[in-house]
Amino acid sequence: MYTIKPITERVRKMREQYRETQPAICTSRYKLITEFYMANRDMIGSLKRAKNLHNILSHIAIRIDSGEVIVGAQSGTYRACALYPENSVAWLKEEVESGFISTRDIDPYILAEDDRDYILGTIDFWMQECMSAKADAQLLDEYKSIAGNGVTPFGPVGQAQAPVGHFCTGYNTAIRKGFAAIKTEAEAKMRALIDDALPGATMEQYHFYRSIAIVCDGIIIYAKRYAALAAEMAENERDPDRKAELISMAECLNHTVEQPARNFHEAVQCLFLYQTALCLDANMHGMSFGRVDQYLGDFYHADIESGRITPEYAQELMDLFYLKVAEMNKPWGYRQTMSAPGYTSGQLMTLGGLDKDGNDATNGVTYMMLQSAGRLLLHDPPQALRIHKNTPEALWEAAIETTKLAGGVPSFENDDVIIPALMSRGLSLEDARDYCLIGCVEPAGCGTEWPACGGVGTESFMNLAAALILAINDGHTAVPMLNGFVPAPLGSPNPRVGIKTGYLYEMTDIDQVKQAFRAQLEYFIKWHTMIINSFEYTARNVLPQPLVSATMAGCMESGKDVMWGGAKYNSTGNAGVGIGNVADALNIINHCCFQKNICTTREMYDAVMNNWEGYDDLRAYILNEAPHFGNGLPECDGYAEFVGKCFSDTVNALTGPRGRYSAGLYPVTINVAFGAATIATPDGRMKGEPLADGIAAPQGYDTNGPTALIRSVSVINQGDFPNGTLMNLKFHPTALKGADGWKKLSLLMQTYFDMGGMELQINVISTETLRDAQKNPEKHKDLVVRIAGFSSYFVELHPSGQADLIRRTELAM
């Protein structure tokens, strides 16, 4: 029987502090970068970014809080967040000017008066200097007339509101090699190039290595600053135990980061300080830790064997490390926050799975990670557990017991489907076996790939339901502004933004509807891709990532930054949202219009365009009597396979400046925002209601339990989605009670994985609990729920997100 051991007193106190501290904004980084950019307008490219980061790491406020052993921070005060004006500031200006940033209903931030004044006094500098403005300026003229089409989220402005992120760099290299060695290597490369008189286009390489040497120097300085602070605090410490601890922390920080880690503590510290430095360079946005148990396992077991550490202290270090990750956070504009609410930063950790030789890679740290997740109940870091045929029973049990407690942490990922899917986009067998998960559910090489999951530096989701509406409306938008993010500059109320595919009432069989959908979708996928490519064109010049490139496999060899395609592998993700609605809509159109003559195509068209007004009976029939996707009925489920294929065929065939595109099917919570901007759909959905979550059926339609739902979603060929799929199963606690509850759930998941399922996450929670939490948030401060690819405190969700979660079918009741 799996048990959760109690946390130590200081961990308890720190956790309490974490839950009770409201996030604030810290301008320490903002001031440093503003001063640097204003003073160095002459600098360009990687040199500018490297020197800027060096300046930040040398001067950013540092602190070691009471009880901390693992150190590093973005800001001078606890749970305060840095700002990243070089990405996008239009939202910041608006929300700071109005004060909305501190009063908004999701993720508000405290902002001090003098900080507010400083921001407003300098922000106009950034209005043109930021990445977003530069990307807007480069936007293709041809796109501007169709911006606001509703299928792609891009408007005519605001291209880079979500910053560059979603990758896992070479943490293992950082831990085992140290930055002094990387710096030496970069300097040797520079000397060699100089000796060769910088032939051909090697000037780019020279500046790349130059940027590497600068940031290596910067991060070493950063670690030494912390070492000095720890030593100074040790001097003044009266408690002999804490004094000794501070001294050992100083020793650790004087060595690790610069030199290869020698023990578990140094390895964890290097991992976290590197992450902190990365986050000081670029806005943390799905910067994922990768296979943490694989980096740390050897150190842990060696320390235990030699008696250097006790399992209890190692576990406490892990807890302290997790609390540090949870503290980190990024302020976003309100609209972006809607798509990933709950102060989350998506610093996903991967555990378990196969090693490079195909053996089970579980080690002691794998269990420690689950233990920390289960006993701390933090919303961050999220965890993804890799599953394969030989995953140990004990790990299954620990993971499922953890997921019951921690609201969907970990998610479960199927090695048997993901490894071949990654090989299909070019990874070697060895590197594919060494994959990790990024952001939410996106598989990628661990320290070997620049995957730009979900797009590079911009949200990359596509609204599949909107494509269906255009398909049955001859390419005309059905609402004046069909854009969830930015008002589109549309002249007439219903302009044509798509291609001509005819109207539903002109179609005589379901194949015509399907072909119309495919045509619209292909058209918009191509536009979507072009906009991302346009963004990359701009971003590689403005935001190179030298500190990432220092450890990412391939960069040092090729002499190229990750943004320039230097990584060993490259791809770009694109995720479709609402496959369940489109699949079910096609099913319903076929059933009602072409098979059972429940209504004519004209009636269906009018019903949808009029939000079902005057068509109550038709909608009631669809809701209560028609067969739906999600119930294991082959005649309905086939449409999901079709929709999936339309998306993956087109996405996977396209390329960007660095390499292939990669299709995914996951929404985070953008299915709510997309749904809010989408008119009624033939599956019975009303205008404004959320789209279906992940690859699941529309909310409430899967009435035949999890086995049926699993059979339905298994018709989607998930191997065609190397950017990940998301499947959320929600269980009432009674469904999994009993000593063998975990076992049966694991067998259900294994069957899904045998059937080709890629990812699964579990919510074990009752709707009564959720409703009560809506009414009495004070009583449920600790209720963690899995939203999509991440977990959140339920009480911190937007009311519409809360309602969506409650609506999702309660399975197995």
Partner 1 sequence: MSKQITGKLYDIQGFSVHDGPGIRLTLFLKGCPLRCPWCHSPESLAFHTELNWMGIKCIGIEKCGRCLGACPSGAISPGGKRPILGGGDEEIQLVTVDRKKCGNCSACADVCPTKALYMCGTDYTVDEMMQRVHRDKPFFEKSGGGITISGGECLCQPEFVLELLKRCKTEGIHTVVDTSGFVPWKTIESVLPYTDLFLYDIKGMDSALHKQVIGVPNELILENARKIADRGGKFQIRIPVLPMYTDSAEVFDAIGKFILTLGDAVQVVQILPYHNLGTAKWERLQTSAPVFAAEVPSENLIQARKKQLESMGLNVVVH
Residues that bind partner 1 (CB under 8 A): 616-617, 620-621, 623-625, 632, 704-708, 711, 735-739, 741, 744, 747-748, 750-751, 754-755, 811-812
Shortest Å, Cβ 800 to partner 1: 13
* Cβ closest to partner 1, residue 235 vs residue 616: 616
CA neighbours within 13 Å on the CB side: how many for 474? 9
Kindly state the tokens that stand for 776. 């009495």
Q: How far apart are CA 33 and CA 729, in angstroms?
A: 44
* Cβ closest to partner 1, residue 183 vs residue 732: 732
* Cβ closest to partner 1, residue 467 vs residue 710: 710
* Cβ closest to partner 1, residue 299 vs residue 701: 701
Shortest Å, Cβ 785 to partner 1: 21
Q: How far apart are CA 778 and CA 678, in angstroms?
A: 34
**Residues in Cβ contact with 700 at an 8 Å cutoff, skipping those fewer than 6 apart:** 807, 808, 809
Shortest Å, Cβ 529 to partner 1: 37
* Cβ closest to partner 1, residue 208 vs residue 731: 731
**Residues in Cβ contact with 173 at an 8 Å cutoff, skipping those fewer than 6 apart:** 182, 447, 551, 553
Shortest Å, Cβ 732 to partner 1: 10
Q: How far apart are CA 749 and CA 179, in angstroms?
A: 42
* Cβ closest to partner 1, residue 26 vs residue 709: 709
Shortest Å, Cβ 755 to partner 1: 6
Shortest Å, Cβ 433 to partner 1: 24
* Cβ closest to partner 1, residue 477 vs residue 699: 699
**Residues in Cβ contact with 801 at an 8 Å cutoff, skipping those fewer than 6 apart:** 341, 669, 672, 787
Kindly state the tokens that stand for 232. 């100074």
Q: How far apart are CA 724 and CA 651, in angstroms?
A: 13
**Residues in Cβ contact with 592 at an 8 Å cutoff, skipping those fewer than 6 apart:** 598, 599, 604, 618, 621, 622, 626, 682
Shortest Å, Cβ 707 to partner 1: 4
Q: 212 near 182, Cβ under 8 Å?
A: yes
Kindly tell me the sign of the dihedral angle through the C-alpha atoms of 738, 739, 741, 744.
negative
Q: 786 near 761, Cβ under 8 Å?
A: yes
Residue 182: burial class (beta carbons within 10 Å; 0-12, 13-18, 19+): buried
Shortest Å, Cβ 405 to partner 1: 18
Question: How far is it between the farthest Cα atoms of the chain?
Answer: 84
* Cβ closest to partner 1, residue 40 vs residue 750: 750
Q: How far apart are CA 249 and CA 171, in angstroms?
A: 20
**Residues in Cβ contact with 160 at an 8 Å cutoff, skipping those fewer than 6 apart:** 87, 88, 130, 131, 132, 135, 457, 458, 535, 539
Q: 321 near 272, Cβ under 8 Å?
A: yes
* Cβ closest to partner 1, residue 101 vs residue 735: 735
* Cβ closest to partner 1, residue 677 vs residue 736: 736
Tell me: cis bond preceding 451? Omega within 30 of 0 counts.
no
Coil, strand, or helix at residue 406?
coil
Shortest Å, Cβ 512 to partner 1: 29
Phi then psi for residue 388, to 5 deg, are -145, 180
Shortest Å, Cβ 437 to partner 1: 24
* Cβ closest to partner 1, residue 291 vs residue 711: 711
Token look-up 């620049």 returns: 450
Q: How far apart are CA 159 and CA 90, in angstroms?
A: 11
* Cβ closest to partner 1, residue 358 vs residue 756: 756
Shortest Å, Cβ 751 to partner 1: 4
Kindly tell me the sign of the dihedral angle through the C-alpha atoms of 379, 381, 382, 386.
negative
Kindly state the tokens that stand for 153. 């989220």
Shortest Å, Cβ 374 to partner 1: 22
Shortest Å, Cβ 706 to partner 1: 5
Q: 579 near 644, Cβ under 8 Å?
A: yes
Q: How far apart are CA 356 and CA 364, in angstroms?
A: 18
* Cβ closest to partner 1, residue 201 vs residue 739: 739
Shortest Å, Cβ 682 to partner 1: 18
Token look-up 């650790």 returns: 252
* Cβ closest to partner 1, residue 47 vs residue 755: 755
Q: How far apart are CA 813 and CA 807, in angstroms?
A: 14
Shortest Å, Cβ 749 to partner 1: 10
Shortest Å, Cβ 737 to partner 1: 7
DSSP secondary structure letters along 286-315: SB--EEHHHHHHHHHHHHHHHTSS-HHHHH
Q: 360 near 307, Cβ under 8 Å?
A: no
* Cβ closest to partner 1, residue 302 vs residue 633: 633
Q: 356 near 430, Cβ under 8 Å?
A: yes
* Cβ closest to partner 1, residue 453 vs residue 735: 735
Q: 287 near 278, Cβ under 8 Å?
A: yes
